[in-house]
Amino acid sequence: MNVIVRPFRPHGNILAQPSKSDSHRKIICGALSGLPCTIDNIVLSEDIQATIEALGSAGCKIKISDSSAYPGRKFIQNEGIRPYSNGVRFIDCRESGSTLRFMSMIFAVIGGRTVLTGRGRLPERPMEHALEFFRRYGISYTIPGNGIYLPLEISGSLSGKEYEVESSVSSQFISGLMMGVAAASRKAVIKADGAFESKGYVDLTAGVLEEYGVEVTGDNPYSMDATGGIQQRDTIVEGDWSNASYFIAMGRMGGSLTVRGLQDYSRQPDRVIVGLLDEMSDGTDNDINVSEFPDLMPTLAVYAATLPVNTTITGKRLRYKESDRIGAVCRGLRAIGIDTAELEDGIRIKGGSTIDGGVVDSCNDHRIAMAFAILGCVSRKDIVIEGAGCVEKSYPDFFRDLVEAGGIIS
């Protein structure tokens, strides 16, 4: 599906989408509790559906209905069955890196045999540090090899009570390890060794586990006491700062637009978007490292394209997302007339250019599609987003909300 975004002026207000990060964690904790839990304010993006189906494949029974409190959104009830199915668990992670990383660690702790599959770029996304962790702590595994990591079959149960994880491992592996320890009703000490990137997402996991009655103390290392298991909770998913970033940035580009339903005290790392946009607008050249909040990179890049100053954005793992986001953003910016240089670990954007419109390839990456769509509010001509249907991965209602915010699309 291609979408044409015509020049427009943003206005009004929109309700923030529920947080994908918070949704994943609360759905998992509710399911792993083995108790009847409810979660309100859910949007069934492809990634969230992947996590729900993964838990179903492991034996958990989840009922989905319409939310009465949040029109257009969903209400989830876990029927209280511990998801420890007999035999081999076959889990299709679709294209969700979050689902893959959470589930691989969770079932490495719980034990048994698990086969994890995926599609798109997911089988190529690096897992070598996670595999080294499996080797060190007694998990057997098989992978296809030659740079392909899925299907991944793991068997056994993690040995020991103290775990040291290479800091370059995705924070989602560490979060999955923490949720697995909680599901197995164990005590553990977990430490990320080295420069700990994306730490905020691990802190978010710790916060959700605490909400579900698991004691988490310390700040790397994290000491966990889950001997009482994951407790019953009825909860609500908070607003998503990652997906709100597009509309927050759009409001800064011109017009008058506000986003409702965000928590200032949230543990989501992407809540820094407001402060970053303030800093970028102070009239001096910008140098931003997004390693702690890599999902903001496309938003920051398109915002930088509207500024009169130069901006450099760097960060680890940006080439290993749903697309090579460094290459995808560079090509997209050049396609609409922005002078951009591609670096090994980031991009450099020359300020002061006019956005003339053009055709942008989303590279099947939801965050590329959404970020470039908001530039319609400053472009002189139409912007065509190729493959715009990829927004279903995280934000199915994005274009509906864009129209509500003043967007003109066809």
Express each pLDDT in 346-369 by its tens digit: 999 999 999 999 999 999 999 999
Instruction: Report the DSSP pairing between strands 162-166 and 187-193.
Output: parallel
Does the structure show a pLDDT above 70 at 86?
no
- According to the model, what pLDDT value does residue 171 have? 86
Short-list 297, 398, 314, CA closest to 348: 314
Model confidence at 193, pLDDT cuts 50, 70, 90, reads confident
DSSP class of residue 41 equals: E
Distance of CA 222 to the CA centre of its chain: 22
Does the structure show a pLDDT above 70 at 100?
yes
Q: Which two tokens stand for residue 280?
A: 């970028």
Tell me whether the CATH fold assigned to 3-16+239-409 matches the one assigned to 20-236.
Answer: yes
- Mean per-residue pLDDT of the chain: 93
Burial of 177 (0-12, 13-18, 19+ CB in 10 A): buried
151: preceding bond cis by omega (within 30 degrees): yes
How would DSSP label each residue in 235-297?
EEPPB-HHHHHHHHHHHHHSSEEEEES--TT---GGGGHHHHHHHHTSSS-EEEE-TTSGGGH
Domain ranges of the chain: 3-16+239-409, 20-236
Which of 45-59, 164-178, 272-286 comes out lowest in average pLDDT? 164-178
Q: Compute the Cα dihedral for 172, 177, 183, 187 and give only its sign.
A: negative
Phi, psi torsion values for 393, nearest 5 degrees: -60, -40
Any bridge partners for residue 287, and if so which? 312
Express each pLDDT in 2-51 by its tens digit: 999 999 999 999 999 999 999 999 999 999 998 999 999 999 999 999 99
CATH number corresponding to 20-236: 3.65.10.10
Model confidence at 159, pLDDT cuts 50, 70, 90, reads confident
- According to the model, what pLDDT value does residue 170 have? 74
In CATH, which of 3.40.50.40, 3.40.50.2300, 3.65.10.10, 3.10.290.10 is domain 3-16+239-409?
A: 3.65.10.10
- According to the model, what pLDDT value does residue 196 have? 73
Buried b (16+ CB within 10 A) or exposed e, 335-362: bbbbebeeeeebbbbebebebebbebbb
- According to the model, what pLDDT value does residue 81 have? 63
Query: Which residues are the active-site residues?
Result: 295
Any bridge partners for residue 76, and if so which? 39, 64
Express each pLDDT in 310-326 by its tens digit: 999 999 888 878 889 99
